[in-house]
């Protein structure tokens, strides 16, 4: 049986959400993110894209390109709510659904042609999403994930496109190689240096040549350029690590402020572990200096999700890592080596009341928010924006606000 893969993508999702909340933003140049001097554009409306603005761009550059744009800080809670609305509609209508990101979905409609007609069904589903949420959305329909995703991008804004079986190579051939998923800026530059700019050129190349230049990724790019992709729909995303990063508004050497930020992130991530019934065995601390030099240090530990074990480890790693005495731009904490399990009492270090204390604090956090109960060491200026809006172990990919993670 031939596969039929549907790809949905919410158009300029963050901007569209803001326009639902404030109709005065309609048809105006809007940029979400980049609130401060260090900001990065999370989403840009089509009105700003005409000036060359795009997501991931530094806010300073975006302001120069489009000085009359309206900048909005963005609210992850709002975007999560609208994303959940779309997810629930799709879950009730398609047999197999993969939520690839906060605004991107894949659905396997294989075999449904004999009952509905997949293209007609996808069209009606798109109209239902627009009607019930008010959000513009585009889709691509083909026999695999790669071609469907490229088709969606070609259909935008707020439109749809079907690629007939057997027409995948013909559809991809005239497009820029940059439009193939996996081809980022660095890979695209490598292609340009080789004199390759279109997918058609890659289609005509021997796969061995692609492999010799790009390694195993070269084979994947060659296959995708030829419309070949057997990647399955993944219904559940298993998180292998959780992390938190913060960029300071102004580079700092205030050790007290930095350690407050690290403590707050370590504490919040430990709560996320316990909430998801997980334990971590690797702790990593990251530093980015004002000259953009980035360093990290990690250590392996016994499986745990306890604040009073993790916070001292994070601070100890920072002390070992910070040896240049240069202004710091960004700090981050990551827990990895994650497995399922609950916090166990250490017979030598802990008492039962410690476990009961965590249980009581976590109940308050679940009801009133992850920052409703915090340690004194995690209070202060550097910790104001630390906190998570959703359970990172709910099987969905994380929401990304670019301007908060650069």
DSSP tag of 25? G
Residue 164 a catalytic site member: no
Residue 22 among known ligand-binding residues: no
Task: Please state, in angstroms and rounded to a whole number, the distance separating the CA atoms of residues 214 and 113.
Answer: 38
Residue 9 among known ligand-binding residues: yes
Give the distance between the most distant pair of CA atoms in the chain.
68
Q: Which residue is it, tokens 């040549």?
A: 209
Task: Please state, in angstroms and rounded to a whole number, the distance separating the CA atoms of residues 49 and 47.
Answer: 6
Angle at 321 between CA 317 and CA 404, to 5 degrees: 85
Q: Which residue is it, tokens 């496109």?
A: 161
Measure Cα distances from 9 to 74, 153, 177, 282, 304 in Å: 19, 8, 20, 35, 38
Task: Please state, in angstroms and rounded to a whole number, the distance separating the CA atoms of residues 163 and 258.
Answer: 52
Task: Please state, in angstroms and rounded to a whole number, the distance separating the CA atoms of residues 380 and 119.
Answer: 54
Residues 17, 401 contacting (CB under 8 angstroms): no
Chain centroid offset of residue 251 CA = 25
Q: Which residue is it, tokens 């490598």?
A: 190
Task: Please state, in angstroms and rounded to a whole number, the distance separating the CA atoms of residues 85 and 81.
Answer: 6
Q: Where are the alpha helices (DSSP H) in 28-75?
A: 46-49, 59-65
Task: Please state, in angstroms and rounded to a whole number, the distance separating the CA atoms of residues 254 and 329.
Answer: 11
Task: Please state, in angstroms and rounded to a whole number, the distance separating the CA atoms of residues 134 and 127.
Answer: 10
Give the start-end residues of each E strand in 350-402. none
Q: Measuring CA to CA, which residue among 214, 216, 156 is closest to residue 189?
A: 214
Residues 289, 357 contacting (CB under 8 angstroms): no
Chain centroid offset of residue 240 CA = 14
> Exposed, middle or buried: residue 18 (CB in 10 Å: 0-12, 13-18, 19+)?
buried
- Catalytic residue (choose from 93, 104, 245, 316): 104
Residues classed as catalytic: 104
Q: Which residue ranges make up the annotated binding site for Mg(2+)?
A: 9, 103
Q: Which residue ranges make up the annotated binding site?
A: 9, 103
């Amino acid at each position: 049986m031939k596969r039929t893969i549907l790809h949905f993508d919410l158009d300029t999702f963050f901007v569209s959400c803001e326009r639902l909340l404030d109709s005065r933003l309609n048809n105006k140049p809007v940029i979400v993110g980049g609130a401060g001097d260090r900001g990065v554009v999370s989403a840009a409306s089509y009105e700003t894209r005409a000036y060359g603005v795009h997501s991931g761009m530094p806010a300073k550059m975006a302001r120069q390109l489009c000085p009359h744009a309206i900048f909005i800080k963005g609210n992850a809670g709002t975007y999560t709510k609208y994303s959940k609305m779309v997810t629930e509609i799709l879950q009730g209508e398609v047999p197999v659904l993969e939520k690839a990101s906060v605004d991107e979905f894949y659905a396997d409609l294989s075999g449904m042609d004999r009952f509905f007609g997949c293209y007609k069904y996808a069209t009606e589903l798109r109209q239902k999403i627009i009607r019930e949420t008010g959000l513009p959305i585009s889709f691509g329909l083909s026999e695999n994930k790669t071609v469907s995703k490229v088709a969606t991008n070609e259909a935008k804004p707020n439109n749809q496109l079907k690629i007939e079986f057997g027409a995948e190579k013909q559809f991809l051939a005239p497009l820029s190689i940059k439009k193939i998923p996996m081809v980022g800026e660095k890979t695209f530059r490598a292609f340009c240096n080789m004199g390759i700019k279109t997918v058609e050129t890659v289609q005509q190349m021997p796969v061995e040549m692609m492999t010799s230049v790009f390694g195993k990724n070269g084979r994947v790019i060659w296959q995708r350029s030829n419309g070949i992709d057997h990647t399955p729909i993944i219904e559940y995303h298993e998180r292998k690590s959780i992390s938190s990063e913060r960029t300071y508004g102004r580079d700092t050497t205030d050790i007290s402020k930095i350690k407050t930020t690290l403590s707050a992130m370590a504490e919040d991530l430990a709560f996320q572990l316990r909430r998801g019934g997980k334990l971590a065995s690797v702790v990593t601390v990251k530093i980015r200096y004002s000259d953009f030099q980035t360093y990290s240090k990690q250590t392996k530990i016994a499986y745990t999700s306890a604040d009073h074990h993790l916070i001292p480890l994070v601070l100890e790693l920072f002390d070992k890592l910070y040896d240049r005495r240069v202004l710091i731009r960004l700090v981050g904490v990551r827990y990895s080596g994650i497995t399922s399990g609950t916090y166990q009492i250490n017979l030598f270090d802990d008492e039962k009341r410690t476990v009961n204390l965590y249980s009581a604090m976590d109940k308050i956090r679940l009801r009133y928010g992850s920052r409703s109960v915090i340690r004194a060491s995690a209070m202060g200026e550097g910790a104001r924006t630390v906190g998570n809006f959703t359970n990172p172990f709910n099987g969905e990919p994380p929401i990304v606000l670019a301007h908060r993670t650069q």
